[in-house]
Amino acid sequence: MSEGNGQEEMGSIRFPAEILSVVAPDLSLKRHLDLGLRPCLRKFHEFKNLTLNVKSGLSRYDGDVDGESVTDSPVLGSSVIKSGNTTVICGITGGIVEIANVSTTTTSDDHDDSMEYTSIYPVVEISRGKLNGAPTDEEMILSQQLYETLLHSKILPKKSLIIDNIALKTNDDTNNNNNNRKRYAFVLYANIQVFSREGPLFDYCYGSLVKSLQTVKLPFIHFTDEEFIINDNRKNGGNVKPEIICDSEAYNQLKINEENINWSLTFGLVNNDDGKETIILCDLEGHAEETCCKSLINVIIDKNLKMRYLNIVGGDENVIIDENIVLKTVQLAKNRVNNILN
């Protein structure tokens, strides 16, 4: 600026691509699309490279990994997904709860097949380089979405979590109180850590959750001999609580419904300049794509390439979502899932 003549010289400002994508995400996306590329330099239908690791050595029954045994680990199953800069680590831990008696479960009126499935309680933590505070909205929404999606996918049958292999010691010789016996079941929790957040987070979290679930090994349970006394009629005081010990070597593989194993994929829809053609973008990544693609399609496809979930968000009024676009997206998803799962 020159003070002398009172006029301002307006020069153009140049931003590097990554700064422009934050300052003006819509402009950045448009300029890339005009070149036939995306801000992450992938092609429109190109998926992100994905590395899956289910032998991460974090789990209790993984055996010796690098000479170190992890038999005291509470983790029952784990997996690590890496894609681009993003790393998602999922560890599944468990707890034991008392469940309703056999007699009441079987005579229940509501008894039917669909209620025989359950889910995992997931907690997602996205690392942002600061001390962990209360969970953010994004983390809560992701956790709840994971819970509901897994439940509706019918992957985890309730009966696989019921503990039926405990060595019991009873003080009742007649054994006639079998129906009143307390029963126990596992509940599973998943702790999902996300580092370098980027890309379609739900897809990666869901993928790591399903992959970890396939590796879950439930511990063999011992109730300490002297203390575990089945004592429902409370003859002897009734306050004796069993002490639960999980075996460090013996385990049972968790039985899951392998047929229903599925994979989630998210696509973004944008309109190019003349508004005639809708472009499908696979695996949205980066600030420009995440903020500007308001029309989204999320598809979950199972092993047999059947659709299990479809979510269409038409957030952008310039993008008209018709049958062709959805069918094209579903076909892209099916091809990708076929590569990943089969």
Asked if 107 is part of the footprint of another protein (rule: CB under 8 A), the reply reads no
**78 contacts 59 by C-beta, under 8 angstroms:** yes
Closest CA to 235 of 163, 281, 180, 308: 180
Asked if 59 is part of the footprint of another protein (rule: CB under 8 A), the reply reads no
Residue ranges of the alpha helices (H) in the chain? 17-23, 25-34, 102-107, 137-153, 201-214, 286-292, 323-341
Asked if 250 is part of the footprint of another protein (rule: CB under 8 A), the reply reads no
Residue 27: CB atoms within 10 Å: 14
Nearest residue (CB) to another protein, 56 versus 264:
264
Strands 183-195 vs 121-126: parallel, antiparallel or unpaired: parallel
Closest CA to 213 of 90, 113, 317, 62: 90
Asked if 114 is part of the footprint of another protein (rule: CB under 8 A), the reply reads yes
Q: Looking up tokens 């306050």, which residue turns up?
A: 239
Nearest residue (CB) to another protein, 70 versus 326:
326
**125 contacts 192 by C-beta, under 8 angstroms:** yes
Q: Which of 71, 327, 338, 339 binds another protein (CB under 8 A)?
A: 327
Which stretch in 44-52, 147-155, 191-199, 232-240 sits in contact with another protein by CB under 8 A?
A: 147-155
CB of 339 to another protein, least distance (A): 20
Tell me how many residues contact another protein (CB under 8 A). Answer: 41
Coil/strand/helix, residue 331: helix
Residue 331 Cα distances to 195, 203, 307, 337, angstroms: 30, 17, 11, 10
Longest dimension (CA), the chain: 108
**301 - beta bridge partners?**
263, 307
CB of 264 to another protein, least distance (A): 13
CB of 232 to another protein, least distance (A): 15
Which stretch in 39-47, 56-64, 214-222, 321-329 sits in contact with another protein by CB under 8 A?
A: 321-329
Which residues, 6+ apart, have CB-to-CB distance to 327 below 8 Å? Answer: none
Asked if 147 is part of the footprint of another protein (rule: CB under 8 A), the reply reads yes
Q: Which of 70, 102, 244, 310 binds another protein (CB under 8 A)?
A: 310
Closest CA to 122 of 138, 155, 144: 144
Nearest residue (CB) to another protein, 79 versus 118:
118
Asked if 315 is part of the footprint of another protein (rule: CB under 8 A), the reply reads yes
Nearest residue (CB) to another protein, 140 versus 168:
140
Asked if 235 is part of the footprint of another protein (rule: CB under 8 A), the reply reads no
Which stretch in 148-156, 193-201, 210-218, 271-279 sits in contact with another protein by CB under 8 A?
A: 148-156
Asked if 308 is part of the footprint of another protein (rule: CB under 8 A), the reply reads yes
Calpha distance 90→191 (Å, rounded): 6
CB of 299 to another protein, least distance (A): 10
Closest CA to 158 of 246, 256, 262, 244: 256
Asked if 321 is part of the footprint of another protein (rule: CB under 8 A), the reply reads yes
Rounded to 5°, angle at Cα 68 from 70 and 64: 75
Asked if 115 is part of the footprint of another protein (rule: CB under 8 A), the reply reads yes
Output the CA torsion sign for 281, 282, 288, 290.
Answer: positive
Asked if 314 is part of the footprint of another protein (rule: CB under 8 A), the reply reads yes
Asked if 309 is part of the footprint of another protein (rule: CB under 8 A), the reply reads yes
Which stretch in 32-40, 73-81, 220-228, 316-324 sits in contact with another protein by CB under 8 A?
A: 316-324
Q: Which of 42, 222, 294, 303 binds another protein (CB under 8 A)?
A: 294
Contact residues for another protein, defined by CB under 8 A: 97-100, 104, 110, 112-115, 118, 137, 140-141, 143-145, 147-148, 151-152, 185, 294, 306-317, 320-321, 323, 326-327, 330
